[in-house]
């Protein structure tokens, strides 16, 4: 295989994540894609360093993470803390929502996102 056709591990993982999106991630993406929240552009499965962010808005330097059960373990919490510290050192604000909160109170989640986005103006 030619060098330019080799895919990196991160590209393979990104494709796997996109093809196996959680219901919460798929739902949130419907709400935020195509600049639907106050014109802010979001990317999904965006790479920063060795991390893949669920959603990222570069102009607001805002990361949105949707958290399911793996995040609510000691290992998950420790990993998220290290990851958040890394991103905050880069000037990126991280907000997290439990997956089920999007289905129970979608407008509250969207309002919280809008508040954080508008703080960047």
Strand partners, 65: 96
Band (pLDDT 50/70/90 cuts) for residue 1 is very low
Domains of the chain: 3-119 (3.40.960.10)
Strand partners, 97: 66
| Contact in structure between 24 and 102 (CB atoms under 8 Å) | yes
pLDDT at 4 over 50: no
List, for residues 9-29, the tens digit of each pLDDT value: 656 555 555 556 899 999 999
| Contact in structure between 96 and 80 (CB atoms under 8 Å) | yes
List, for residues 65-89, the tens digit of each pLDDT value: 998 766 657 787 899 999 999 999 9
Q: For the chain, what's the residue count? A: 121
């Amino acid at each position: 295989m030619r060098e330019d056709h080799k895919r990196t591990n991160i590209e393979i993982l990104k494709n796997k994540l996109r093809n196996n999106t959680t219901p919460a991630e798929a739902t949130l993406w419907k709400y935020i894609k195509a600049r639907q929240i106050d014109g802010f552009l979001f990317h999904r499965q965006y790479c920063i360093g060795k991390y893949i962010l669920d959603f990222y808005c570069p102009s607001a330097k805002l990361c949105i993470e949707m958290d399911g059960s793996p995040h609510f373990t000691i290992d998950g919490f420790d990993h998220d803390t290290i990851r958040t510290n890394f991103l905050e050192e880069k000037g990126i604000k991280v907000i997290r929502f439990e997956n089920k909160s999007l289905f129970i109170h979608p407008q509250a989640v969207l309002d919280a996102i809008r508040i954080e986005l508008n703080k960047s103006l």
